[in-house]
Structure 1
Amino acid sequence: MTHSYAQYAVPVAVGVLFGLLARLNMLRTDYRQYPTYPHGRIIHVALGLIAALIGSVAIPSVLQSDWTAITFLGLAAQQFRDVRNMERNMLQQLDSMELVPRGVAYIEGIAQVFEGRNYLVIFTSVVVTFLVIKTSIWWAVLAGVLTFFVNSWFMSGKVLGDIADVQVSKLRIDGPNLYVDDIYIMNVGLEADRAVIRENGVGLIVTPKNANSLVTIANLGQRQAILHDVSSILGVYRDSGEPALVPLAKRDMKSGRLGVFLLPEEKDTSKVAEVARRVPVLDSAIRLPSEASVNQGRKGGA
Structure 2
Amino acid sequence: MRAQILSTPHLILIIIGIIGGTLARVLILREDYRQYPTYPNGVLSQIALGFVASTLGAIFIPAIMTNNVTAATFLALAITQFQGVRKLEQDSLKSLEETEYTKRGSAYIDGISKTYEARNYIALFVALTISVIAESLETMPVFIRISLGILGGILIFLILVRFSKGKTISDFAVVNQAKIIIKNNELYADDMFISNRIGSIRGQEMILQEGIAVILSPKQEHYRIFLDNFGQRQAILFEITRTLGLKRYHFTRKDYSNGRIAFVIVPIIHNIDNMISSILRTPVLETVQKNHKYLQKKEK
Q: Offset at 1:35?
A: 4.2
Could you tell me how far apart the structure 2 residues matched to 1:125 and 1:289 are? 30
The letter of the residue matching 1:221 is G
1:265 pairs with one of 243, 253, 268: 268
Q: Is the 8 Å Cα contact of residues 54 and 73 (structure 1) preserved in structure 2? A: yes
CA offsets 1:112-169 (integer angstroms, 9 cap, x no match): 1110111101110110000110122221022223334334424533221210111111
Structure 1 residues not aligned, in runs of 5+:
239-244, 297-302
Could you tell me how far apart the structure 1 residues matched to 2:74 and 2:36 are? 35
The letter of the residue matching 1:227 is L
- Could you say if the C-alpha distance between residues 193 and 34 of structure 1 is closer, same or farther in structure 2, counting changes exceeding 3 Å? same
- Could you say if the C-alpha distance between residues 27 and 234 of structure 1 is closer, same or farther in structure 2, counting changes exceeding 3 Å? same
Q: Offset at 1:36?
A: 2.0
Could you tell me how far apart the structure 2 residues matched to 1:252 and 1:30 are? 32
Aligned-partner SS, 2:287: helix
**Percentage of matched positions with identical amino acids:** 30
- Could you say if the C-alpha distance between residues 290 and 32 of structure 1 is closer, same or farther in structure 2, counting changes exceeding 3 Å? closer
Aligned-partner SS, 1:284: coil
Partner of 2:100: 98
1:204 pairs with one of 214, 224, 237: 214
CA offsets 1:43-96 (integer angstroms, 9 cap, x no match): 222211211121122223445665544434212321100111111111111121
Q: Is the 8 Å Cα contact of residues 227 and 248 (structure 1) preserved in structure 2? A: no
Partner of 1:89: 91
Partner of 2:57: 55
Could you tell me how far apart the structure 2 residues matched to 1:103 and 1:253 are? 22
The letter of the residue matching 2:258 is S
Partner of 1:300: none
Q: Is the 8 Å Cα contact of residues 211 and 289 (structure 1) preserved in structure 2? A: no
TM-score, normalised by the number of residues in structure 1: 0.84
> How large is the RMSD of aligned CA atoms in angstroms?
2.5
Partner of 1:299: none
- Could you say if the C-alpha distance between residues 268 and 41 of structure 1 is closer, same or farther in structure 2, counting changes exceeding 3 Å? closer
The letter of the residue matching 1:94 is L
CA offsets 1:170-224 (integer angstroms, 9 cap, x no match): 2222222222233332222322211111111122111111244211111111111
Partner of 1:189: 199
1:163 aligns with 2:172: yes
Could you tell me how far apart the structure 2 residues matched to 1:84 and 1:215 are? 27
Could you tell me how far apart the structure 2 residues matched to 1:211 and 1:290 are? 15
The letter of the residue matching 1:231 is T
Aligned-partner SS, 1:184: strand
Could you tell me how far apart the structure 2 residues matched to 1:287 and 1:176 are? 40
Q: Is the 8 Å Cα contact of residues 111 and 286 (structure 2) preserved in structure 1? A: yes
The aligned length equals: 285
Partner of 2:288: 285
2:185 pairs with one of 152, 176, 186: 176
Could you tell me how far apart the structure 2 residues matched to 1:134 and 1:286 are? 40
Q: Is the 8 Å Cα contact of residues 213 and 287 (structure 1) preserved in structure 2? A: no
Could you tell me how far apart the structure 2 residues matched to 1:261 and 1:87 are? 30
TM-score, normalised by the number of residues in structure 2: 0.85
Could you tell me how far apart the structure 1 residues matched to 2:233 and 2:113 are? 19
1:229 pairs with one of 233, 239, 247: 239
